[in-house]
Structure 1
Amino acid sequence: MRIYGVVGWKNAGKTGLMERLVAEITGRGFTVSTVKHAHHSFDVDQPGKDSHRHRVAGATEVLLASRNRFALMHELRDEAEPPLQALLARLAPVDLVLVEGYKRDGHPKVEAHRAATGNPLIAPGDDTVRAVASDAPLDLDRPVFDLDDTVGVADFILSDVGLMPAPGQRGHGCA
């Protein structure tokens, strides 16, 4: 499975970049799934709904399905947070999985960076960060894209995972 991460500190533009990349890459005919890491407790369910009542009653997994979508909720209860690889194994096959967060995992990543946040770059100390998308010019030992250059970042990612040739190479992608 081809995976690529989008990492960065809070308010760096990760989610916006992810959203634009999904639209750009699926617009090219590739299938994309996403994984988003949350550092806090979250709930996709609502108190009072049947699925919420099932979880509160003690169900380990609740599968909510309709003709438009399904959602599988798995309560960890006393279990540790599963590693990214275990979560990826639950996904249906696609051309590319984009992962927001999981900055310490070993998959390749692009870093989103906004200078105004004042946060340091992750890239200089992390070889898994293969490129940076920033709203300010940077002098780095890897490619730097404008944070709004979705096409350029998408080209870089697709080339890096082998879904399209690198710039200057002939041939077609291996999708």
Structure 2
Amino acid sequence: MRVYGVTGWKNAGKTGLMERLVAEITGRGFTVSTVKHAHHAFDVDQPGRDSHRHRLAGASEVLLASGQRVALMQELRGAAEPTLDALLARLSPVDLVLIEGYKRARHPKVEAFRAEPGNPLIATCDETIHAVASDTPLELDRPVFDLNDTGRIADFILQEVGL
């Protein structure tokens, strides 16, 4: 499976870049899935719904299905967070999986960077970052793209993964 990441500090523009890349790459006829790492607790379920009640009753997994989508909720209940490789193995085959976050994972990435938050560049000490998408000019030993030039960033990623 071809994977490519978008990483960066909080408020660097990762999610916006991911959204634009998914639209751009699927618009070119490729299939794309995404993996997003959350550093906080989250819940896709709603209290009071049948599926929520199943989870509260102790179900390890709840599969919710309709004519529009399928959602599988798995409760870790104290177990370790699954590795990125384990999560990728659960996905159906697609042309490309875009991964948001997972800074320390070893897959190739583009770093989203905005000057305003004042965070340091990750790329200067991480060889898994193959390019930077920035809102300010930078002098680096790898490609630097305008953060809003989604087409060129998509071209770079697709060339990197062989699509």
Q: TM-score range by the shorter chain?
A: over 0.9
User: What is the one-letter code of the residue matched to 2:22?
Assistant: V
Where does the alignment leave 5 or more consecutive residues of structure 1 unmatched? 164-175
Cα deviation 1:52-86 (Å, max 9, x = unaligned): 00011100000000001010000000100000000
* Residue matched to 1:56: 56
* Residue matched to 2:102: 102
Shift of 1:141: 0.3
Distance in 1 (alpha carbons) for counterparts of 2:38 and 2:78: 18
User: What is the one-letter code of the residue matched to 2:153?
Assistant: V
Distance in 1 (alpha carbons) for counterparts of 2:134 and 2:38: 22
* Residue matched to 1:23: 23
* 3-state SS of 1:151 partner: helix
What's the TM-score, normalizing by structure 1?
Answer: 0.93
After TM superposition, the structure 1 = structure 2 runs for residues 19-168 of structure 1, keeping only pairs within 5 Å, are 19-163=19-163
Cα deviation 1:112-132 (Å, max 9, x = unaligned): 000001000000100000000
Distance in 2 (alpha carbons) for counterparts of 1:75 and 1:123: 35
User: What is the one-letter code of the residue matched to 1:98?
Assistant: L
User: What is the one-letter code of the residue matched to 1:156?
Assistant: F
Q: How many residues align?
A: 163
Shift of 1:25: 0.2
Distance in 1 (alpha carbons) for counterparts of 2:146 and 2:55: 44
User: What is the one-letter code of the residue matched to 1:140?
Assistant: L
Distance in 1 (alpha carbons) for counterparts of 2:80 and 2:140: 37
What's the TM-score, normalizing by structure 2?
Answer: 1.00
Distance in 1 (alpha carbons) for counterparts of 2:56 and 2:80: 19
Distance in 1 (alpha carbons) for counterparts of 2:136 and 2:72: 40
* 3-state SS of 1:19 partner: helix
Distance in 1 (alpha carbons) for counterparts of 2:72 and 2:17: 26
* 3-state SS of 1:106 partner: coil
User: What is the one-letter code of the residue matched to 2:90?
Assistant: R
* Residue matched to 1:173: none
Cα deviation 1:125-169 (Å, max 9, x = unaligned): 000000000000000000000000000000000000000xxxxxx
User: What is the one-letter code of the residue matched to 1:108?
Assistant: P
Identity of aligned residues (%): 79
* 3-state SS of 2:18 partner: helix
User: What is the one-letter code of the residue matched to 2:6?
Assistant: V
Query: Which one scores higher on RCO, CA 8 angstroms, separation ≥ 6?
Result: 2
Distance in 1 (alpha carbons) for counterparts of 2:81 and 2:120: 27
